[in-house]
Amino acid sequence: MTMKTMTMFLFLTMPAALDLTSLSPSFISQVRDVSNRILSTTDAGVESDHVYSYMITLFGQWNDHDLTFTPTSPSIRSFNDGIDCDLSCAQADPCFPIQIPPEDSRFGNNSKSCIPFFRSAPACGTGTTGHVFGKANIRQQVNALTAFLDAGQVYGSDDAQALSLRDLTNDFGLMRVNDRFTDNGREHLPFTNTLGTCSTRQKITNVSGVEEVPCFVAGDTRVIENIALSSIHTLFLREHNRLARALRQLNPHWSSETLYQEARKIVGGYPQVIVFRDYLKHIVGPDAMDHFLPAYPGYDENVDPSIANVFATAAYRFALLTLQPLVFRLNESYQEHPEFPSVPLHKAFFAPWRLIFEAYNAWRKFCGLSQPQNEEELAQVMDNPDLAKKIIELYGTPDNTDVWLGGVSEPFVSGGHVGPLFSCLIAMQFQKIRQGDRLWWEKNGVFTNQQRKSLAAVSLNRIICDNTGIRKVPKDPFLFHHQGTSYISCNDIPAFDLRPWFKIGE
């Protein structure tokens, strides 16, 4: 797969809503019943959104991987009486298997009686590990990443990982790239040392003897989860190296370390600008932007930017319902690529060679929203009596409703792509991320006035133009436009101005 191909599908449409006409009336196992009766749909039932592009989903996942990662250590899967959570259907912490009803439409007559599932690793001193400090308490999960928008998914979240991703064979301040393959001369992500979980080519193509390739490596281990995500990682790897080379031309006396750190600092500022200026307004809507995210108020050392569990596990997972059943791959004219056709999503995972929760009402109260107490009130909140009826049948009361299901069931706020609850939770989390970051790009002393002026003009379109073969892009990459309408030439998008970095540092 070429990078040009991978980037093209980012501008395609995303699903607009679920088709609820095929819900099964059976109810046996609640988790599977929620899936079958409320969240089930078919590929044919997925409707395209003609307002937002698929970049909303894909950029959102890439951005999320800068903020949250919940570790699940293999060592905790089988410590309880020697039970292996992957093989057993016994419920013994940390195993929490999902029972499969006998007539489950997805599994049919499959001999398996459960879906293996195990809990996240508990934060030290929470849950039963609280006994170490005197008594058990509420279990909390671990966030293995920093809570800041700093392109950690590109560079890694610790020094050892960051160093392993650097090209130390020269003094140019570059990131490591693939030493076997290029995309028409452009760089690909480097490989890991082993094939690992990415040996999927023979299995997916059903062709024996074809060469397998290792997984890609980046600052986040989920880089190879799907080929669309890998493409965005590739884009920003190339952008770092493009900047490092340009900075070296400006300042030939700079050391490799200075080149690397200055390029990294610029790239780290990109998501801060793009997420707040271009992305969030499409998600949370203008009201939440005005209330939670007005002009930058400055750094506040008393603001805790840590990621809330409800954000990591529910609110910022709204995009799970915006996935398309296909990963579209188009050529430079935005037509189906003749060499690299679109692939089903389930065949795009771990395939580099192609390249719960606190209750719903509690969180509504937290956000100052009404708390529906019965089916009628829930139907008003969701503007969907049939859906409210099914939720009450499954959960008994709105108070018991899972916050993710309740959140994604709400009608979108005006100008946004989530309902009122998730609009509040997402905007509030980003408010804390920005105000609690002592290295935020707008904070005095982080960048010079002229450097901030350059960063304020950065655009995702310009990054795509500089690092792919695409020459025309939508004016707003997060909005859907039919080919030929509102597309602009890369020549008409101002280049990133690096002059403020001329002869600074050592």
Residue 111 to residue 113: CA distance in whole angstroms: 6
Residue 143 to residue 76: CA distance in whole angstroms: 17
Do 46 and 272 form a contact (C-beta atoms < 8 A)? Answer: no
Distance of CA 122 to the CA centre of its chain: 22
Buried b / exposed e over 412-421, threshold 16 CB at 10 Å, is bbeebbbbbb
Beta strand 98-99 with 186-187: parallel, antiparallel or unpaired?
unpaired
**Which 8-state DSSP code applies to residue 175?**
B
Q: Give the DSSP letter string of 58-124.
A: HHHHHHHTTT------GGGSS-STT--TTT-----TTB-PEEPPTT-TTTTT-S--EE--BPPPBPT
Determine phi and psi for 201, rounding to 5 degrees: -65, -50
Do 331 and 8 form a contact (C-beta atoms < 8 A)? Answer: yes
Residue 187 to residue 468: CA distance in whole angstroms: 10
Residue 492 to residue 338: CA distance in whole angstroms: 29
H or E, element range at 429: helix 420-435
Do 451 and 497 form a contact (C-beta atoms < 8 A)? Answer: no
Residue 312 to residue 145: CA distance in whole angstroms: 12
Residue of 186, 176, 175, 178 whose CA lies nearest to 264: 175
Instruction: Outline where 147-255 has alpha helix (H).
Output: 152-155, 159-164, 201-205, 227-250
Question: Given 50, 65, 188, 240, which residue is catalytic?
Answer: 65
Tracing tokens 């990682």 back to the chain, one arrives at 233
Q: Could you give the angle at the alpha carbon of 403 between the alpha carbons of 428 and 288, nearest 5°?
A: 25
Whether residue 131 lies in the annotated active site: no
Residue of 211, 228, 264, 259 whose CA lies nearest to 6: 228
Residue 262 to residue 138: CA distance in whole angstroms: 42
Distance of CA 46 to the CA centre of its chain: 21
> Rounded to 10 degrees, what is the CA torsion of 207, 208, 210, 215?
90
Give catalytic residues, as residue numbers.
65
